[in-house]
Amino acid sequence: MNLAALAEGLGVRVPSLYKHVDGMPGIRRGVMIHAKSSLAHTLGQAAIGRSRDDAVKNMAFAYRHWARTHPGQYPLTMRAPQPEDDEDLEASAAIADVIYNVLSGCDLHDDNAVHATRFLRSSLHGFIALETTGGFELPVDIDHSYTRLIDSVTTALATWSPP
Read off the pTM.
0.87
CA distance 15 to 21: 10
* pLDDT score recorded for residue 94: 97
Tell me how crowded residue 19 is: count the other CB atoms within 10 A of its CB.
7
Please state the domain extents for the chain.
3-7+14-158
Q: How far, in Å, CA of 53 to CA of 83, rounded?
A: 33
- Alpha-carbon distances, residue 52 vs 44, 85, 111, 146, 154 (angstroms): 14, 33, 18, 18, 8
Q: Residue 153 has what pLDDT?
A: 97
Mean pLDDT, 10 residues at a time, over the chain (163 residues)?
Answer: 70 72 82 96 97 96 97 93 95 96 94 95 97 92 97 95 70
Q: From the centroid of its chain, how far is CA 29?
A: 16
What confidence score (pLDDT) does residue 12 get?
A: 74
The CA distance from 144 to 28, in Å, is: 35
**What is the CATH code of the structural domain delimited by 3-7+14-158?**
1.10.357.10
